């Protein structure tokens, strides 16, 4: 089983030194969230993830969730761990105190998301979708619905799901067939089938609150006719207690490559009673409240799995003896630890520089997210929302793709042992493989970025992002100059790539489609460089306070700028070659 130590020191460095968003710091609701409080929270989070949740990863992989006589059974140990998990209040961390939550900002909860993703992604998913459903209900439902459903969800006694996908429609939700028939009492009867439903059924909570998209009988076809419904597994009585079983059954559990402890279900809705959330035919935009936040969390899943893969690779590289490095002067023939070999060191630094850059970028984005949700000034709120919209597909796609690179490299460092189940490294690869797929495949994210986010009704938000980078990375420190100059050079590449893409959208959309993933990665690698410059600004300024820590940061950043950031220009050069050969190629 892999070992794991939560990177609390790095997280606290970000919270103490990079909490520099003026608009975020104006939010009154978070004035009392001090570094001391956050450190206490993260240290407790580290304990439960390292000691209780980490062992569940192997248990869930070896004994997956099963469907038995119509009942979904979670893996051994899940029930007991979940009970402790909710008793300690982890489901309520970022929720509204009005409904029993602790009211912590995403600058804190994102760190917890990373930790639990490292410990056991399969276990995490049972509560993760609950928080997504909570956010959607919190934003769009009536006070009556909120008061009836949210307290139990915040407490963790009830869980939640997101039911979109059907056998006939995945990304193209306009094709959905699930129908909703209005009843005299204002409720709806929901009939249809949903597939790939994460945590769709299980034995951890006394009720499951499904958020289901369906089409009312008098609604138009396509996405314009989609509405959102709250459909509980068990009907909730007027007094808030659980009543009779609703018309929902589990058809099967998917047999998956990874995250086997998570029950991914086929759900059948047979005239199940549902309540419409928000206005009719506005369900897709309401569901995107949940999906957009969830996409950022998926990126954090990739980050979390990358972190545990890196930690175990580093430990193994220090212990494993194999061959002689070029610096080995031993006459006795003794082998070196593989960490002495240049290629292994390069691989480890690649992992480390990406992971720490991602964590810093996530922290920056979490501040923007809170501003977009909570600031009083609508202009400031919209500007932050633009940044969140731009970065959502980047974080989701880049972090999950790089998670595949890092877990693959971890297996390579372990060699043959990495390919066996004994070490648990191959499970990290398998568990992470879903992250580039669910919540919208990474190709869909890239298309969304170039066709919808590059230019919007609010203008060119990539230009706004580049201007923001320039304003936040100005420095008179000579030590910073090489990094800032390199970042500015790459911003020039991004500007050329953006102009090329906007032009091609008007003349040849196939060129844009073929370049979309390259554009996303160019933007992503430059965004990581931006986060590294912010880290470096602090490390150079505060170097004497903690020489060892800051020297580590500076040298890791140097590796990123020299060895990883050049990928941004490579993607640009590949993309602008166009799509003619691709589209004209004759497949046999």
**357 strand-pairing partners:** none
Residue 328's pLDDT is 65
DSSP 357-412: HHHHHHHHHHHHHHHHHH-S-HHHHHHHHHHHHHHHHHHHHHHHHHHHHHHHHHHH
**Number of Cβ within a 10 Å radius of residue 251:** 14
Determine the Cα–Cα distance for residues 534 and 22; give it in Å rounded to an integer. Answer: 15
Joined together, the tokens standing for residue 416 give: 């043959």
- Token representation of residue 130: 């609950």
Q: How do 207-216 and 226-232 pair as beta strands?
A: antiparallel
439 is catalytic: yes
Tell me the CA distances in angstroms from 403 to 57, 354, 410, 448, 453, one per residue in order: 17, 10, 10, 21, 24
Do the bridges between strand 158-163 and strand 71-73 make them parallel or antiparallel, or are there none, so unpaired? Answer: unpaired
How many C-beta atoms surround the C-beta of residue 67 within 10 A?
A: 16
Would you state the structure tokens that stand for residue 528, as one six-digit string?
Answer: 């990581």
Virtual CA dihedral for 551, 556, 561, 565, nearest 10 degrees? Answer: -160
Closest among 130, 137, 96, 452 to 287, alpha carbons compared = 137
Contacts of 530 (CB under 8 A, 6+ apart): 361, 469, 472, 473, 487
Q: Which two tokens stand for residue 257?
A: 């490559």
Q: Kindly report the pTM of this predicted structure.
A: 0.96
Determine which one of 62, 439, 545, 562 is catalytic. 439
Beta bridge partners of 248: 269
d(CA 395, CA 428): 19
Measure Cα distances from 188 to 221, 437, 490, 542, 559 in Å: 18, 32, 53, 60, 58
For residue 74 the two structure tokens come to 């979670």
* 502-518 pLDDT per residue, tens: 999 999 999 999 999 99
Rounded Cα gap, residues 272 and 234, in angstroms? 10
How far from chain centre, in Å, is Cα 171?
Answer: 18
Separation between Cα atoms, residue 32 and residue 494, nearest integer Å: 39
Q: Residues of the chain whose pLDDT is less than 70? A: 170, 325, 328-333
Q: Are 353 and 529 spatial neighbours (Cβ–Cβ below 8 Å)? A: no
Q: Residue 333 has what pLDDT?
A: 61
Distance CA 313, CA 331 (A): 28
Contact predicate 286/136, CB 8 Å:
yes
Residue 458 · residue 507 · CB < 8 Å: no
Query: How many CB atoms within 10 Å of residue 170?
Result: 15
Q: Render pLDDT for 374-433 as a digit per residue (tens, 0 to 9).
A: 999 999 999 999 999 999 999 999 999 999 999 999 999 999 999 999 899 999 999 999
Q: Which of 61, 86, 3 is nearest to 262 (CA)?
A: 61
> How many Cβ atoms sit within 10 Å of the Cβ of residue 100?
17
Residue 409 backbone phi and psi in degrees, to 5? -65, -35
């Amino acid at each position: 089983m892999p070992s794991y130590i939560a990177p609390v020191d790095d997280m606290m460095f970000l919270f103490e030194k990079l909490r520099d968003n003026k608009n975020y710091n104006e939010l009154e609701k978070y004035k009392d969230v001090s570094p001391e409080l956050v450190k206490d929270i993260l240290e407790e989070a580290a304990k439960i993830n390292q000691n209780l949740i980490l062992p569940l990863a192997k248990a869930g992989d070896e004994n997956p969730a099963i469907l038995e006589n119509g009942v979904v059974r979670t893996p051994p140990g899940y029930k007991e761990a979940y009970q402790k998990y909710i008793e300690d209040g982890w489901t309520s961390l970022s929720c509204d105190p009005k409904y029993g939550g602790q009211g912590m900002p995403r600058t804190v909860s994102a760190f917890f998301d990373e930790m639990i993703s490292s410990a056991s992604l399969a276990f995490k998913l049972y509560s993760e979708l609950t928080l997504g459903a909570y956010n959607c209900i919190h934003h769009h439902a009536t006070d009556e619905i909120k008061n009836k459903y949210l307290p139990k969800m915040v407490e963790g006694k009830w869980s939640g799901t997101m039911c979109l996908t059907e056998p006939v429609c995945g990304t193209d939700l306009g094709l959905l067939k699930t129908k909703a028939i209005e009843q005299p009492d204002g409720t709806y009867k929901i009939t249809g089938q949903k597939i790939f439903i994460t945590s769709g059924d299980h034995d951890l909570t006394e009720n499951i609150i499904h958020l289901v998209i369906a089409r009312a009988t008098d609604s138009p076809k396509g996405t314009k006719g989609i509405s959102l419904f709250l459909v509980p597994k068990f009907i909730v009585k007027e007094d808030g207690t659980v009543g009779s079983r609703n018309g929902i059954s589990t058809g099967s559990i998917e047999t998956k490559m990874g995250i086997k402890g998570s029950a991914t279900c086929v759900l059948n809705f047979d005239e199940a009673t549902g309540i419409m959330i928000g206005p009719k035919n506005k369900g897709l935009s309401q569901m995107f409240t949940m999906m957009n936040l969830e996409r950022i969390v998926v990126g954090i899943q990739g980050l979390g799995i990358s972190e545990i893969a890196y930690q175990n690779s580093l430990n193994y590289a220090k212990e494993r003896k194999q061959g002689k490095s070029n610096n080995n002067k031993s006459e006795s023939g003794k082998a070196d630890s593989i960490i002495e070999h240049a290629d292994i060191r390069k691989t480890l630094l690649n992992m480390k520089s990406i992971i720490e850059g991602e964590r810093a970028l996530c922290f920056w984005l979490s501040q923007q997210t809170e501003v977009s949700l909570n600031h009083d000034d609508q202009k400031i709120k919209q500007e932050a929302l633009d940044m969140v919209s731009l970065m959502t597909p980047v974080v989701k796609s880049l972090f999950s793709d790089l998670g595949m690179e890092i877990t693959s490299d971890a297996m390579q460092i372990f060699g043959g042992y990495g390919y066996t189940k004994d070490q648990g490294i191959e499970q990290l690869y398998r568990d992470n493989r879903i992250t580039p797929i669910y919540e919208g495949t990474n190709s869909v994210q890239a298309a969304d970025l170039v066709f919808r986010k590059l230019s919007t009704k609010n203008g060119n938000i990539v230009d706004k992002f580049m201007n923001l980078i320039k304003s936040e990375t100005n420095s008179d420190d000579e030590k910073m100059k090489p990094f800032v100059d390199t970042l500015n050079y790459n911003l020039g590449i991004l500007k050329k790539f953006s102009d090329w893409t906007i032009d091609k959208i008007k003349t040849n959309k196939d060129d844009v489609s073929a370049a979309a993933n390259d554009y996303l990665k160019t933007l992503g690698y430059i965004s990581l460089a931006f986060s590294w410059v912010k880290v470096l600004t602090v490390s150079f300024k505060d170097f004497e306070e903690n020489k060892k820590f800051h020297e580590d940061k500076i040298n890791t950043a140097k590796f990123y700028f020299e060895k990883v950031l050049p990928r941004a220009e490579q993607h640009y050069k590949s993309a602008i070659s166009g799509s003619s050969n691709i589209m004209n190629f004759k497949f046999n």
